[in-house]
Amino acid sequence: MTPRRERANCPPRTPSSPRGRGDVLRLGDKTNHGARLGLSDAELQFLDIGADAGARRIAFRRRACRDESRAGLVWLSGFKSDMASTKATALDEYCAKAGRALLRFDYSGHGASDGAFEDGTIGIWAADALTAIDALSEGPLVLVGSSMGGWIALLTALARPARVAGLLGIAAAPDFTETLMWAAMAPPERAALLRDGVLRVPSQYGEPYAITRALIEDGRTHLLLNAPIAIDCPIRLLHGQRDPDVPWETALRIAERVRAEDVRLTLVKDGDHRLSRPQDLLLLRETLASLLDQDGA
């Protein structure tokens, strides 16, 4: 019913407590801002965004690029996943060897970022992505989105077409709040969600998922697959045909809807939702290398 969560190695989140080591950047504070962008990826940092009731702190890690003429990468995590997941770590290792810039961050309510997960929506998490990209990256970018991150990547490409040079989706799940959550609910579950504002759904990964009415209703304002998607950059899609969470046919719908002509879909017959096995990570690296080599990106 819901996109699968990857294993995360992150400290417990306590919204009111400090995060430990790591610098804090604030939007609008230009003091030494450029220098801080070059800090080693080994150092966890934080970005303060918003104001008053909407203020929140986003955790991020940034790897500098050895060649500023080459496109950088942005990792966009899945639902309840974070920048410490298997694929995100593998992408960081790839960028370290290739000399590529990489920005990883946790949406609010995820990983090391502040906030309660239940307060999040697709709109809020997409805004987190745009804010982090605008404040913490430079030049052309290739977006790499996993599951929900694939939806966020598409929304980002629509919002920043001049900056997005390519997009790679891994079990990308646009519209999942409607097609995989709401559509799967029985009438009594829908009634409970509308009445109580939240529905807790059992998960094989531990604590139940908290699906909120706000998540569903906000998701409807960001649906993409029912109309053409005005994205023109090269797109690569990887999807396992044994994915129990997001049907592989979703990748076909993305390929059909985007305006771009340079779209390639790779189906992994025995692949699951995570696509985190060694052979899957090899496919990710090969696909990314091919995409980045296009037009000298």
Q: Are strands 72-76 and 56-63 parallel, antiparallel or unpaired?
A: unpaired
Strands, DSSP E only, in the chain?
24-26, 45-49, 56-63, 72-76, 102-105, 141-146, 164-170, 198-203, 206-212, 235-240, 263-268
* Cα–Cα distance measured from residue 267 to residue 244, given in angstroms and rounded to the nearest whole number: 14
Q: Are strands 45-49 and 56-63 parallel, antiparallel or unpaired?
A: antiparallel
Residues 147, 239, 276, 280: which is the catalytic one?
147
Residues 82, 114, 128, 243: which is the catalytic one?
243
Note if 110 is an active site residue.
no
Chain centre to alpha carbon of residue 54: 21
Residues 81, 273, 276, 280: which is the catalytic one?
273
Note if 239 is an active site residue.
no
Note if 33 is an active site residue.
no
CA distances (Å), origin 114, targets 52, 105, 110, 217: 14, 12, 8, 23
Diameter of the chain by CA atoms?
Answer: 56
Residues serving a catalytic function are 147, 243, 273
